[in-house]
Amino acid sequence: MTLTSIIFAGVLTYFTRMTMIALISRDMLGDKIKAVLEYVPSAVFPAIIFPGIFINDYGAFIEINDPKIYGALVAIVVGYFSKNIIATILAGLISYWFLIFVIFS
Amino acid sequence: MLSKKQLFTRGMLDISPHMLSVIPFGIICGAIGVELGFNPYLVYAMSFIIFGGASQIVFLQLLSGGASSLVAVASVGIINSRHLLYGAVLSEYLEKLSFIKKLLISYVVVDQGFAESNKFFKKNRSEEYLHYHLIGTGCTLWVCWQIATLSGIILGSFVPEELGLKFAIPLTFIAIVVQDLKKLDHVIVMITCGLSSLLFFDAPFKSYIIISPLIALFVAALLLRLKK
């Protein structure tokens, strides 16, 4: 790893952040595109959520009884009703820990 | 009308619950770099220059696995290309800013910050200094990320690996989208994205992270057409 490669990666990353904010004006995006962009959070974040649950550190699919699946389900239910971020994360983690340290240990 | 300071503070408060996942992830990210045998200064430089959690880990792993630096740089670019979508959404709210301010604010646009500020923007369109909310979320994330990766680099992985704290990352994003499960169209878009991400997980350069949102947005466009 060299500083040059980090700088290249950093410049590239900065361009992904800056391009649409600084170089695009509102008039360039039509109403239809704006309506579709309403879905960006729902269309992007599952690409982080699903692999984070269903794929392990070695790039393989997990088993159907993996504690992460249950942890995620608990988090979804708690998050849906509590509308609280901390409660959602803690509910997921604690149920996951309960499964790996108490039930499956 | 809220003042700049009030908006900035509101941004800080809105993003702070996510530190529960960001800080352990930052520590892990810093510790991995040192464990893989890289120069600690360079590992830290990534947090400052790239400033993107998942892409930093992939960058380290690819290089330690002997990949060409060209492949590693390209992968970082592709993983982070999702920011183009965030920028497209945010551009509407940041339009009035000067070009220089747009250039500066862009540096702190990160997943969770975008998600929370976008939620706030939608509800408070009329605020004059709206962008201070984004600066609040972005700066909080930035400071915590720098401290977390630095402590991981210096102290090593003092977060026990058995705790599996990487799992907090999907949980943080579940917390972000969970309220949209009330809307059927959003559920369809989410499932499309999630399943595509698993299907294309092995696509080169980690491109699943941009392929699956594009497929999901295409489905969203179809749904909008059906609704009419």
pLDDT tens digits, residue range B174-191? 999 999 999 999 999 999
Does the beta carbon of B24 lie under 8 angstroms from any beta carbon of chain A?
no
Taking residue A54's Cβ as centre, other Cβ atoms within 10 Å add up to 19
In terms of DSSP H, where are the helices of B65-183? 69-80, 83-94, 99-106, 111-123, 131-155, 168-177
The residues spanned by each domain of chain B are 4-168, 183-228
Question: Which of A37, A40, A84, A105 is most worth mutating to test chain B (most B CB atoms within 10 A of its CB)?
Answer: A40
Q: Tell me, what's the pLDDT at A103?
A: 87
Burial class (CB in 10 A: 0-12, 13-18, 19+), A2: exposed
Q: Tell me, what's the pLDDT at B1?
A: 84
Under 8 Å CB pairs connecting chains A and B tally to 271
Q: Which tens digits make up the pLDDT trace of A10-63?
A: 999 999 999 999 988 777 888 899 999 999 999 999 999 999 999 998 889 999
pTM: 0.95
How much is the mean pLDDT over chain B? 95
Does the beta carbon of A77 lie under 8 angstroms from any beta carbon of chain B?
no
Does the beta carbon of B191 lie under 8 angstroms from any beta carbon of chain A?
yes
Does the beta carbon of B13 lie under 8 angstroms from any beta carbon of chain A?
no
Does the beta carbon of B72 lie under 8 angstroms from any beta carbon of chain A?
yes
Question: Which of B55, B171, B191 is most worth mutating to test chain A (most A CB atoms within 10 A of its CB)?
Answer: B171
**Taking residues B206-214, what's their average pLDDT?**
97
Q: Which of residues 119-158 of B touch A (CB under 8 A)?
A: none
Taking residue B5's Cβ as centre, other Cβ atoms within 10 Å add up to 11
Does the beta carbon of B91 lie under 8 angstroms from any beta carbon of chain A?
yes
Distance CA B126, CA B174 (A): 29
Does the beta carbon of B15 lie under 8 angstroms from any beta carbon of chain A?
no
Does the beta carbon of A54 lie under 8 angstroms from any beta carbon of chain B?
yes
The 3-state secondary structure of B2-55, one letter per residue: CCHHHHHHHHHHHHHHHHHHHHHHHHHHHHHHHHCCCCHHHHHHHHHHCCCHHH
Q: Tell me, what's the pLDDT at A81?
A: 98
Q: Tell me, what's the pLDDT at A104?
A: 80
Does the beta carbon of A74 lie under 8 angstroms from any beta carbon of chain B?
no
Q: Give, in order, the Cα–Cα distances in Å from B86 to each of A71, B49, B102, B164.
A: 28, 19, 14, 29
Does the beta carbon of A104 lie under 8 angstroms from any beta carbon of chain B?
no
Q: Which tens digits make up the pLDDT trace of B68-123?
A: 999 999 999 999 999 999 999 999 999 999 999 999 999 999 999 999 999 999 99
B-chain CB neighbours of A40 within 8 Å are 85-86, 88-89, 118, 213, 217
Question: Which of A24, A36, A45, A77 is most worth mutating to test chain B (most B CB atoms within 10 A of its CB)?
Answer: A45
A-chain CB neighbours of B42 within 8 Å are 1-3, 6
Nearest to B83 among A17, A26, A96 (CB): A17
- Centroid of chain to Cα B18: 11
Distance CA B133, CA B136 (A): 5
Distance CA B7, CA B17 (A): 17
ipTM for this prediction: 0.96
- Does position B220 have pLDDT exceeding 90, yes or no? yes
- Does position A105 have pLDDT exceeding 80, yes or no? no
- Does position B127 have pLDDT exceeding 80, yes or no? yes
Question: Which of B167, B182, B185, B210 is most worth mutating to test chain A (most A CB atoms within 10 A of its CB)?
Answer: B167
Q: Tell me, what's the pLDDT at B184?
A: 97
Greater pLDDT, B149 or A1: B149
Token pair 């939608």: residue: B122
**Taking residues B191-196, what's their average pLDDT?**
98
**Taking residues B142-171, what's their average pLDDT?**
93
Strand partners, A61: A55
